[in-house]
Amino acid sequence: MMRRSTAVGAAAAVGVVLLACEEIGTPGQATAPADPEAGEIAFELAGPNDAALMVPVYLNGTGPYDFVLDTGATFTCVEETLAEQLALPEQAGPDAVGYGVGGAGRLRLVALDSLRLGEAVAEELTACVLDLAHFQIPGMDVHGLVGLNFLRAFRVMLDFDRNVLSLTRPEE
């Protein structure tokens, strides 16, 4: 069993496939403001051609850490050095396989007590662990990827004129 894949870590977008239960990535609870203005978070465009949308993320109450907002990533992923520093516990469950630009590899899953982005909070969230060493380029100190398992719990709006992301409660 391969613990990490540099091919997966080098990808700008990572697809993560769980070979069993689809619902393992859904947060246990998600909260956000109802008002779009209250849910605004400034983002920064970084990397070659400003291709990465960087946002400040808090994990288990610590941070902020620079994460890439990655709508192409099925799962939220944490850089392996940060996962070790925070002593994130392994998440039991089905095998996870990551697919990236250079290939595929098995991924380790961890449990997050909470992930906060602005005022939006997801609790009991599963994340994958990636080696993002090959993703580190001048001007980008990436600590992880905010993926769809976090984002789909919210109404997401991007304003590129103001470089603002808004996360609010979904309409009921």
The residue whose two tokens read 């997801």 is 122
pTM listed for this prediction: 0.81
Question: Tokens 């939006």 appear where?
Answer: 120
Report yes or no: 129 and 78 within 8 Å, Cβ to Cβ.
Answer: yes
pLDDT digits (tens, 9 = 90+) for 2-51: 333 332 333 334 444 443 344 556 788 888 888 888 899 999 998 888 88
Domain interval for residue 163 = 6-168
Give the pLDDT of residue 116: 97
Would you say residue 67 lies in a domain? Answer: yes
> Coil, helix or strand for 27?
coil
Is 157 inside a domain boundary? yes
Cβ-contact 24, 143 below 8 angstroms: no
- Does 23 fall in a domain? yes
Q: What is the CATH number of the domain that holds 12?
A: 2.40.70.10
The structural domain count of the chain equals 1
What would the pLDDT profile of 144-163 be if each residue is shown by its tens digit? 999 999 999 999 999 999 99
**Would you say residue 1 lies in a domain?**
no
Q: Is the link from the previous residue into 138 a cis peptide, with omega within 30 of 0?
A: no
Whole-number pLDDT of residue 1 = 31
* 159 occurs within a structural domain: yes
pLDDT of residue 132: 79
